[in-house]
Amino acid sequence: MTSGRHFLQIPGPTNVPDRVLNAISFPTIDHRGPEFARLGREVIDGLKSVVRTEADAVIYPASGTGAWEAALVNTLSPGDRVLMFETGHFGTLWARLARDVGLDVTFVPGDWRSGVDPAVVEEHLRADVGHTIKAVAVVHNETSTGVTSRIPQIRAAMDRAQHPALLLVDTISSLGSAEYAHDAWGVDVTVGCSQKGLMLPPGLSFNAISAKAREAAESAQLRRAYWDWEPIIAANAGGFFPYTPPTNLLYGLREAVAMLHEEGLDNVFARHQRHAEATRRAVEAWDLEVLCRVPEEHSPVLTAVLMPDGHSADAFRNVVLDAFDMSLGAGLTKLSDRVFRIGHLGDLNDLTLLGTLGGVEAGLRMAGVPHKPGGTSVAIEYLADTAPRTA
Ligand code: PLP
């Protein structure tokens, strides 16, 4: 047993604020009664305000993977072509799921250090003169690498190619932490979940649905039952769900959305950008390498750090966990044991970040990882020089 709080600095699930934990602890109510109807309407509207959409949005009692599947099976038919990208572990898993549900995936290979290149999207779509590609599916923030793909530029590339494919975007680790706008960015289906920027425990995931996507669903032939948008949207009109909803997580969602709006979404995004910059400055000062190699694609929500050759990222993470009770993110599949990931998303302030960076620096020293000391001091200077002041 250790004193103080565990530092959960993985890129999700994230630290759940006390306000959200308290909200979740209220008694479960009748999910067919008037009080629930009010809650249901509030959380759907609240979710839409965070996704920044006036269109439809549905909430699933499921992890993010469920909402990935929902985005595909509602809009597409067996054998439809989908353009997908190897941005990292999650881009790869989404493509596998797409194949598993019967889609024909064109998988653009990637180096796990950069995001989706809008020029490559344009090239593929221009070459597809017969419009056989029915959807372009992109992971906004690739959680395995700390690289963010530029959705507005990808949308612009699709428009330049005058191609009618749907744009499906995974915002699982960006929603509520990185700038995002479903309507303004012309996204057709946004996929999100609860346990990252929304500061909730795992268990909820979302689809926001453009009018074009909903229309595509009318003729889409992939088999769907639980994931079918239509019965959910119909029940949601009255504030209800077509099955037993996860009432207590919805209490939490209501509270989390209120917290995001109290701070102001743009302030939340700026806070994460600033923390990401402080983290990168620390990594650079340690003389370690940030995995993302495209400056305009640096993730505001996590930083993946390459381990010097011959050193184990997992051994280092174990030292940090053991000595300081802090969890850092592991390298996934191709990056296994090669990187560690610092999560700076969700409910995080300057001192939480400095504690995190201090724990990383102390851990590097204890694990004998070659580095230059002083990265945390560089982050302190940056945060002090850029601290927002109200007085
Ligand atoms: N997509 C991204 C970008 C993720 O980070 C994750 C999980 O971390 C997933 C999809 C899968 O979500 P889940 O594990 O909630 O099913």
Domain ranges for the chain, please list them.
Answer: 7-14+265-386, 18-261
Query: Which of 8, 63, 10 has its CA nearest to residue 302?
Result: 10
Alpha carbon distance 228, 218 (integer Å): 11
What does the chain come to in residues? 391
Q: Is residue 169 packed enough to be buried (19+ CB in 10 Å), middle (13-18) or exposed (0-12)? A: buried
Q: Which of 99, 154, 92, 168 is nearest to 124 (CA)?
A: 154
Q: Phi and psi (nearest 5°) for 372?
A: -95, 130
Please give the distance, rounded to the nearest whole angstrom, from the Cα atom of residue 142 to the centre of ligand 1.
9
The DSSP bridge pattern shows strands 289-290 and 326-330 to be: unpaired
- For 233-288, the pLDDT digits (tens) are 999 999 999 999 999 999 999 999 999 999 999 999 999 999 999 999 999 999 99
What is the per-residue pLDDT across 335-387, written as a single tens digit (0 to 9) for each? 999 999 999 999 999 999 999 999 999 999 999 999 999 999 999 999 999 99
Is residue 184 predicted with pLDDT exceeding 90? yes
Q: How far apart are the first and last CA of the chain?
A: 41
Residue 362: the pLDDT is 98
Half-sphere exposure of 104 (CA within 13 A, CB side): 8
Fold designation for 18-261: Aspartate Aminotransferase; domain 2 (3.40.640)
- Measured by CA distance, the residue closest to atom 12 of ligand 1 is 64
Test site for ligand 1: of 172, 180, 335, most ligand atoms within 8 A of the Cβ: 172
User: Which tokens in the block code for residue 58?
Assistant: 């549905």
Q: Domain 7-14+265-386 has what CATH class?
A: alpha beta
- The Å distance, Cα 327 to ligand 1 centre, comes to 18
329 CB under 6 A from ligand 1? no
pLDDT of residue 1: 58
Asked whether the beta carbons of 14 and 335 are under 8 A apart, the reply is no
Angle, helices 151-160 vs 118-127, to 10°: value is 30
Give the bridge partners for 105, in sequence order: 82
Distance from C-alpha of 175 to C-alpha of 348, rounded to nearest angstrom = 15
Ligand 1 contact, 144 CB (< 6 A): no
Tens digits of per-residue pLDDT, 93-142?
999 999 999 999 999 999 999 999 999 999 999 999 999 999 999 999 99
